[in-house]
Amino acid sequence: MKKKQRKARLIRAAIQLVFFIFYPALFSTAFAGVKSIFQAIAAHQQITWNSFLDITGLLLVITILFGRHFCGYACAFGSLGDAMYELTLFIRQKVFHKKGRHGYPEKAVRILQKVKYLLLAFLLLSILTGWYAKLQGMSPWDVFSMLTAHKLPNASYKVGIVLLVLILIGMCTQERFFCQFLCPMGAVFAMMPILPSALFNRNREKCPSKCGLCKKRCPAHLDIDGDTPLSGECICCHACQVTCPRKNIQIGPHKEQEMVKE
């Protein structure tokens, strides 16, 4: 079982590394597409298709059809979060001999998950009111994309640098800290109607009572149960699937799959 988990984690890390090196800007490009729509409205212009919206559209369609696999496997900022968290785990284990995966309690996670919607609303409103120009240099994403382009941000990015450092610290304290709590693009993804056939389902009848390993392991502390009000929060990391000792978790509705098997 442990072997299988490690293998799944290594494959995921390898895919994340490839995307981090070759496509580090996808997430901010996708959000630039969302912003371009609101910039057009703010300027009282027609909304026209542009190269940012190519990426936004592609990622949204992929998300609707196959779930948020982009977030779990391809987003450079998400991968950065995973790296920071895993590094902290490693240090905790080696230096402080603490076992288990640290994180916030479920209640706190639920509340903090709402913050990203507020942030998205704030950003889009500030674009509409023309306020956004004043936020120049405050975006931690800009600083991150400069660093991935091997360029040092100058002094006008002070606020952005400080925010990026704070986010990096946050990433160490909770798995997928930024994605769950702050990412405005994550908020857009979470609102998408992901097809029920692309969601993780659990064969509850086969689960022993009081197991809950999947929920404990899930970075978002989700009840794995197909289509729920919170199913948009799933970033398709597949951790629940490989953690379940009974292999009760699969993508797509369970009953149909069993019927196919029979």
**Site residues, another protein (CB under 8 A):** 25, 29, 32, 35-37, 39, 41, 44-47, 50-52, 54-55, 145-146, 149-151, 191-196, 227-229, 231-232
CA distance 126 to 116: 15
Q: Provide the 3-class DSSP secondary structure of residue 203.
A: coil
Q: Give the residue carrying structure tokens 């109607």.
A: 193
Q: Quote the strand ranges of 177-245, DSSP E.
A: 200-202
Closer CB to another protein, 35 or 238, in the complex: 35
CB of 11 to another protein, least distance (A): 27
Q: List the one residue out of 249, 239, 245 whose CA is nearest residue 8.
A: 239
Q: List the one residue out of 190, 196, 206, 216 whose CA is nearest residue 249.
A: 206
CB of 146 to another protein, least distance (A): 8
CA distance 118 to 61: 24
Give the gyration radius of the chain's Cα atoms.
Answer: 19
Closer CB to another protein, 25 or 168, in the complex: 25
User: CB of 178 within 8 A of CB of 170?
Assistant: yes
CB of 28 to another protein, least distance (A): 9
Residue 56 to residues 34, 59, 136, 258, Cα–Cα distance (Å): 7, 5, 22, 36
Closer CB to another protein, 22 or 96, in the complex: 22
CB of 258 to another protein, least distance (A): 17
CB of 3 to another protein, least distance (A): 36
CB of 125 to another protein, least distance (A): 15
Closer CB to another protein, 95 or 155, in the complex: 155
Closer CB to another protein, 95 or 149, in the complex: 149
Closer CB to another protein, 25 or 119, in the complex: 25
Strand pairing of 200-202 and 249-251? antiparallel
